[in-house]
Structure formats: C-alpha cells, structure tokens
A and B are shown apart, each in its own frame.
Chain A
Amino acid sequence: MTKEYDVIIIGGGATGAGVARDCALRGIKPLLVERFDIATGATGRNHGLLHSGARYAVNDHESAEECIRENMILRRIASHCVDETGGLFISLPEDGLEFQKKFIESCLSAGIYAEAIDPKEALLLEPSANPALIGAVKVPDGSVDPFRLTTANIIDAKLHGAEVLTYHEVEELIMEQGRVVGVKVLDRKSGERKEIRSRIVVNAGGIWGHNIAKKAGVTINMLPAKGSLLIFGHRVNNVVLNRCRKPADADILVPGDTISLIGTTSSKVLFDEVDNMYVTADEVDLLLREGAMLAPSLLHTRILRAYAGVRPLVASDDDPSGRSVSRGIVVLDHATRDGVEGFITITGGKLMTYRLMGEWTTDLICKKLAVDAKCTTAERPLPGSSPQKREQTSRKIHAVPTMQRESSLYRHGDMAERVETSTSAKRSLVCECEEVSVGEVEYAINALEVNNLVDLRRRTRVGMGTCQGELCACRAAGLMAEHGKYCTRRAKQDLASFLNERWKGMAPVAWGDTLRESEFTMWLYDGVCGLTTKKEEEK
C-alpha cells in the first residue's frame, strides 16, 4: 500500500529540514527521507559559524547580504542553537591594513555592522588572539549548532504534520510520463523496499544530490570540495576569530559549545570518495600552522579530533567547464530547466542560509501546487527558542546541579523541561564531560529519533567531550538496549562502531594526550571488556 504526500524531500540536512518545516507550516504535507541520520552530511561537518556575512562582503555582495539577514533571523528564531559571541577580523603584520579599509566599506554597504577597534581593545575582547595583530574589526559573527538547528526544524515540521523517515535511502525516482511522481526507498534498518508517491520530489541531497538528479536523467554540475577542520579540547576563544584578508585556508576559529574549531582546508575530491573521507597529516599540519596565526595557544592545546566535510559547489549552468562556481543558493526547477516535471533541486548555499533556501523552495512548491500561503519561518521561533519559556524552564529545574542544569538548557533551550530530572537515578550522569544525564539520554531515545550511539551523540553531545566516549559510550549503549532500541548483540556492535567512529577523528591527531586517551580507551574496551569489531568476531 502506498501513501501519497504532497512533497517528498530527499535529504535530512539543514536544508531538507528547513524545506520540510516551511512546507508543513504552509499546510503542505511533506515526507522527508534521509539515508542515514539527520545532519550527517555537510550540515554537521562545517564550522558551525553564524556568519555575519563579513567574510563574503568584499567578493560576493549578494551572499553577504543574505548572511546578515539570516544571521539576524536565526538569533531570533533559533536562540537556543545560537551563541552570540561576536566576531573579530584581525590583521597581522604580513596582511597589512590595506584590506581592512575595503573590508569595512564592503561590510557596511551590505548592511553588516563593522567597526575597526584598537588592537589593545581587541586583545581585551579576545585574549587568545595573536598579540602581534595590528588591526581588528568587530562584526556580528557568532556560532550556531547545526545538529540542534536541524533537530529543532524537524521537531517543528513534525509538529505541523510532516513525516520523517531516517535510514531510508532513495534507490530510484519513480518516473511516469517524464514526470517524477515518487521514490523507491530502501529501509536500511529492516532491509525492506517500498514505493512512496508524491506530487513533487525535492532533491536536497547536498553533494549527494548530484547522484539523485542523475536518477531523473538530469545533470547538475557539482564539484565536491573537501574541507577539513580540527576540534580543540576546550573553548580557546570566546569570540570568532577571522583573518582580515582575502579568504584563504584555515583562517576561521569558531568557539562552538564546549570546544573551538579551526578550518578549513579546501581541496577537490572525487565523487566516490565523498562517503568516507580521512583527514591527512598534511592537512592537520596546515590547519595548526595557520590556526596558530590567529591564536598562538592552539599549538599547545589538545586537539580532540579532525574531520572533513564536502561542500556542494555548483557550477553555473552556462559554464560547461565547471570552473565558474557559485556559492550562492541554487534552486533548479527541472521542469523549466530539463523538462522533468515534479522535480526540484535545492543546492549551493550554506548552513547560514538554510531557512532562505527552504523559503525559496517552498515558494516554488506552492506555485506548482497552487497553494497560496506565505512563509512564516522568519518570524516563528523554533521549538526550544522561546525566551519566556526558557526562563520558566530554568526555574522549574532549579534543583538540578548547576553544571547539568546549564548544559541541558544550553542544548535544548526551553525543551529542557522535557528532560526527566525528578529522581536521582534520572539525574545520574552518563557523559561527565558534557553533562548528559540519564534523563536527557532517555529523552533523546524516546522523543528525538535516535537509532544508534552516533545519532544520540548528535542530539545530546554524548561522547563529544574530552574523553570522546571512553566512559559514557558503554553506559549509553546499555541505556539504549534497556529502552528497546536494539538487542544487546547489536548494542555491542554499535558500541564498537561508535568507538571506531570516534577513533577515525582521533587518529589524525593522535599524539600527546589524545594518544594517551586512545590507549586508555583501547585498554578498557579491547582489554577489560573484550569488545571486538564484527569483522574479527567472524574470523
């Protein structure tokens, strides 16, 4: 039996979630399908920078304007996902101050508040900044948590009638008379295959959208660009640091939740590499070298892990060589572009503009479905981001120990009230680095569509702290099994693959304390617990 939806959205990144929410709020019934978990692609693999747009101001006026508009909107609608840290563009002696003047002018003309401040004042504002700086410009940068943002969009979409299927991979698009009318999906958990029909299919697959488009016989010229980043053990800086020069490698240092991030590198990769990328030793060295120019203390700070994401850069349609690349939002109506009805691709853009991408896409959907409804996503706060309710929640959970209470509020905003804290057993901590309680883990398991430990990590930060899951992973796996998420055999497999997922990011930076931590983890799980990967079990 097949069910009919108005729209099927392929891809559970921020963009897909944004489209789903916008559709749902406008009374259109969407189904979102995602082959893994939400925010597994480029959404969760970038800086988490709440761009002011300043970085684009000189070269890409349009992107800069989009950024600052969306920046202000996100502060309002997604307050629990945003940290209003402010940002600095610092000029080092080798950069000179020439760029600064042009930079400030461009910012102001794009509507971005930008003010040159005295280097001494800049160091007071951000003591970790390179003391050699000769100039600094204050801009309204911040940080945004992509996992929280995507989750909040999904929650709201579902609240308004959207359905979401994670771990469902689109294998084929159903085409009838040159028109896309649905998708054939593989349920990756059960192995089942089914057909789902809809009036419109939206391709929001990021870099993977290239292959999805192919299934409709449509070509989109995409260039996968790998960007590697390093995560440091704690907040080195509390203000976003950028270099005031033409954008280059590793020149943004962002404080995100408990950590700081430096990135990115940029290199072309092949399409068959995008599913499994490793950060090389050379990339690590480059990130450290350049990062230390922004904040010298990075050289002595523990690096938790390295990871890489793939930007879906889209070549302009009128340039078959693929050299002219747009970083702007690309909405492709394949009916007008390729003669394929019922199929839209939304790509390009960036995390910052996910909402706008959702708006434009939904506008197009509305036009196609002849629905007359206005976009309200710029005004309606996301679940968790109501300031009044946050106050109430804070008072309600006052008796919870400070660090746990503040962490829960920080992560879930007013939704923290949904975390059970009434008994000591629920307040017991699973993850001590990030203060994730039993109650919070249970909330995520029961209400936030968690299928494995990596999903749980994205919802709660379990295993994202200093020890990278060393003590909490086992506790969390136990809780997952206890709540019937899986049997104990799968729990142990999941535990091993979670630890391996952590190791993947640690290995490129495993020296010093990071290697000590890994050795300890190995002793515990391989030694004391006798845990193995499935491969070895079979052997």
Chain B
Amino acid sequence: MRYDSVIIGGGLSGLVCGLRLVQAGKRCAIISSGQSALHFSSGSFDLLSALPDGEAVTSPVEGVKVLAEQNEEHPYVKMGVERFAALAAEAVATLQGAGVEVEGDVAKNHYRLTPMGTLKPTWLTLSGYVRSESAEALPYKSVLLLNAEGFLDFYAQFISDELRKTGTTCRICNFNLPALEIIRNNPTEMRSANIARIFDNEQAVEALSQIISREAGECEAVLLPAFLGIERGDVLARLQERCGRTIRVVATLPPSVPGVRTQIALRKAFERAGGVYMLGDTALGFEESEGRITKIYTQNHGNIAIEADDFVLATGSYFSQGLVAKREGVVEPLFGSDVCQSESRGEWYERDLFTAQPFEKFGVRSDASLRILRGGKAVENLYVIGAGLAGFNPVKEGCGAGVSMLSAVYVSDNILKK
C-alpha cells in the first residue's frame, strides 16, 4: 500500500494533521491502535492556561511570549512564538471544517465548568457546554441542575455548592425515564455513553423536554450532564427549541460523549476527504534507507508494507503507548527515537499527585521542524506531533490539546511545503 503520508496515531493530533493533508490533496492513511484520548475529553481544548512557574495565563498569545523565556524547549517555542496565533487559527478552522463547532478566543481564555463545580481556564469549548467569560461566576443568576437518577458519574451537589459561592443559585432535580429503567438493570452500564444512546431516540428527547419545561421554573439556564445523544448531534438544539430555554451541558466522568462525537466527526471528515483510517491496527516495524523511513509494517497488514513519502508519529504519551516507561527508562517503542527524560526512576515523580510530575515532560526529541531525532540526528521524513513531544506539561500548563493541534498544523504545513 502506498500513500503520500502516513500518520501513526489517530487521536486529535493525528486527525487534525491527516485532515489538513488530505484536504490539500495528499493521499493519506492513519493507523490507530484503538480509540483515542478524545474519549475522556472535558469538552474543551486548552491552549495555554499557566506558565511552567505556575503563574496563570489569561491571554495565550501574550502568555506564549513569557513561556519562551521560561522554557525554550516547549513545543510552542520551537514552532515559533510569532506563528502561534496563526497556527491556532488554522487549528480552529480545521475543527470547524469537520463540523466540530467550538467557541473561544486565542487572545483571551474563557472558563469551563468542571464536574467539581469550579471554573477552569480554557481556549475552545464545544458548543453546547456551559462556559463563562469570567473566572468568578457563570453568566447565570439561577440554574436548574438536572441529572438522571442513579447516574453516579455526575454529582450535582459538587457543582451546586460551588456555584452558590459565586452567586448562582442552583436547584437540583433528578429525572427518570422508562428507558433509563432498562439500562439501570445493568449494574455497570448506567454510564454516559449508554444514557446518550437513549437520546438518539426522539421519544426520549420529547420526554426530557417535558421534564425540563415542568421543572425549570424561573431558572435562567438548565444544566445537564453531557450525555445527550451519541449518533445524533442535534439533541441539545432540539431541547432548547422545544423548551424555549437556555440549556447547557457539563462534563462527566468517562466516557466523554461529546469527545466520542468529536472523534467520530473528525474521522468521518478525514474519510470523506479520501483519507484511510485503519482502526485497531498497530505499527510494529519499519524500514529505512539513507536517513529516510521508507515503509512501515503493521500487525494487521503483516507482510503488506505501508509505504509513504512522509511519516508522522502521533502516538501520544504513556496512555496511548507512544511512550513506554520501563523500569530502566522511557522509550519510544516504534522508531526508537531519542527520548528526553530524567536519569533515574527516583526523579520521575513528585510525591503530591497534584503537582507537576516530571515524567509528564518526557517525550520524543525533535528539531525545529519537529522532525524526530534518532541518535541525535533528524530523520528527514519523520515527524512527531501531539502528546509524545517533549518539553511540556499538558495538564499543569493547560496546553495539551493546543500542543496536539498546533503541532499537527505545523507539521502538515512542513510536509506540504516540500
């Protein structure tokens, strides 16, 4: 099999990169070893929320300039602080083009509501999610928090108590539907994705809209866990239309239904544009010649190699096994890329789970074009994008999704420029 470009890893980064390549007319394949971390999405995409020293960032475009002073190895700095805003704009355009509707501003972070009820800065938020321009409070004086009875992955009291502190009054109401009774009979499957499936059915949407109309009273907005429809994307709009009210969703524990929908939307857009997405396949080996990767071999395709001009590694960090931590050290298992890491295992960790963990900054070394270094030398046609990159802390710096998408745009540009 021959393609112009092959991307290994089919999550947010791989899909954004692949989409831009196919849209530019490249024949492109994505090899994805299972589903991606989008399945645990908060519903928002962070760009830059804090600097390595912990200082909060309100404007990512401004913050990135200071970031350059604190960490020159940060992927944003490598890609060029001056290109930051343009790359971000391209990323947004790619999402929108795939039908993933997001709202946000590269010059000013807004705030998303966490399942704990706190407000957290972010860059883009999927439309339909509750968000606020202010770090202090939601834009509503009173809300109704509606939860499905017996849904344990969303605890409304956490949210209502926090909101009350910020001056938003909350009423909590649990609702029930006949269809919920059925899935509740399964002790483990009363989870977001299965509830979401109920709302693929118009009857359930209708029933919920009646509950909302009955319960919402004077509340300015109605908040629900993000479990409205797996196949259908119009459930929220439908409910708002039927109830004539502002209705918003809040993130749940995994699986993240809007995350699943985002993954599906990006994959479909990629396939519609002619891309080939190989799910459940794992790249196992490769051949190289004169400083270039020529082909890779996968588990499913066995002796039929996949050849390409360019290869992009988008296999993520530990979770997705783009990085593998062994007792002796961290490796990038496919190409044996150079990995930036601390010397001994004792230095990988901090004792408080909630402080910046050194191992999060480990990753694949690359040059200024994000070409992978092996034995200190850049491979001419092999790039790394996304969570596998070295030099940043996705959670603490609030930049995981940003690094994934911006590096994807940056590398696709580099490939297209050739």
A is bound by B: yes
CB within 8 Å of B: which residues of A?
A: 278, 281, 285, 401, 404, 424-425, 427-430, 432, 437-438, 471, 474-475, 477-479, 481-482, 487-489, 491-492, 496, 499-500, 503-504, 507, 510-512, 515-516, 518-533, 535-536, 539
Q: A478-B152, A535-B352 are in contact. List 16 more A-B contacts (CB 8 A).
A: A404-B187, A425-B184, A471-B253, A478-B155, A479-B152, A488-B161, A499-B354, A503-B351, A503-B352, A515-B325, A522-B360, A522-B395, A528-B40, A530-B114, A533-B352, A533-B355
Q: A478-B155, A511-B326, A516-B321 are in contact. Are A527 and B161 (CB under 8 A)?
A: no
Residues 139-197 (chain B) with a chain A CB within 8 angstroms: 149-150, 152-153, 155, 157-158, 161-162, 181, 184-185, 187-188, 190
A474 touches B353 (CB 8 A): no
- Determine the chain A residues whose CB is within 8 A of the CB of B348 once the complex forms: 510
Some 16 contacts from A to B, beta carbons below 8 A apart, are A404-B187, A424-B150, A428-B190, A477-B155, A479-B152, A481-B157, A482-B155, A488-B117, A488-B161, A496-B354, A507-B349, A519-B318, A529-B114, A530-B114, A533-B355, A536-B355
A510 to B185, CA, bound (A): 37
- Determine the chain B residues whose CB is within 8 A of the CB of A499 once the complex forms: 353-354
Majority secondary structure, A binding face:
helix
Residue of B nearest to A500 (CB): B353
- Determine the chain B residues whose CB is within 8 A of the CB of A424 once the complex forms: 150, 181, 184-185, 187
A379 to B115, CA, bound (A): 51
Q: A438-B152, A531-B354 are in contact. Are A526 and B184 (CB under 8 A)?
A: no
CB within 8 Å of A: which residues of B?
A: 37, 40-42, 54, 114-118, 120, 149-150, 152-153, 155, 157-158, 161-162, 181, 184-185, 187-188, 190, 251, 253-254, 256, 317-319, 321, 324-327, 344-346, 348-349, 351-355, 357, 359-360, 394-396, 400
B187 touches A527 (CB 8 A): no
Residue of A nearest to B324 (CB): A512
A465 shortest CB reach to chain B, Å: 13
A512 touches B326 (CB 8 A): yes
Residue of A nearest to B160 (CB): A488
B187: contacting residue among A429, A521, A528, A536, CB under 8 A:
A429
A7 to B138, CA, bound (A): 56
Residue of A nearest to B320 (CB): A516
A281 touches B319 (CB 8 A): no
Q: A425-B149, A492-B158, A523-B37 are in contact. Are A516 and B118 (CB under 8 A)?
A: no
A525 to B345, CA, bound (A): 24
B319 touches A520 (CB 8 A): yes
A504 to B345, CA, bound (A): 15
Q: A401-B187, A404-B187, A511-B325 are in contact. Are A504 and B149 (CB under 8 A)?
A: no
A475 to B190, CA, bound (A): 13
B115: contacting residue among A479, A489, A504, A528, CB under 8 A:
A528
A487 to B157, CA, bound (A): 9
- Determine the chain B residues whose CB is within 8 A of the CB of A429 once the complex forms: 187-188
B253 touches A524 (CB 8 A): yes
- Determine the chain B residues whose CB is within 8 A of the CB of A539 once the complex forms: 54
What 7 pairs between A and B have smallest CB-CB spacing? Answer: A478-B155, A530-B114, A503-B353, A475-B152, A424-B184, A528-B42, A511-B325
A193 to B253, CA, bound (A): 41
A536 to B327, CA, bound (A): 31
A438 to B153, CA, bound (A): 13
A360 shortest CB reach to chain B, Å: 41
A281 touches B317 (CB 8 A): no
- Determine the chain A residues whose CB is within 8 A of the CB of B115 once the complex forms: 474, 528-529
B351: contacting residue among A438, A474, A507, A512, CB under 8 A:
A507
B158: contacting residue among A478, A522, A523, A528, CB under 8 A:
A478
A511 to B330, CA, bound (A): 9
A527 touches B321 (CB 8 A): no
- Determine the chain A residues whose CB is within 8 A of the CB of B352 once the complex forms: 500, 503, 533, 535
Residue of B nearest to A472 (CB): B152
A281 to B360, CA, bound (A): 20
B254 touches A524 (CB 8 A): yes
Q: A519-B319, A520-B319 are in contact. Are A512 and B188 (CB under 8 A)?
A: no
B318 touches A515 (CB 8 A): yes
- Determine the chain A residues whose CB is within 8 A of the CB of B150 once the complex forms: 424-425, 428
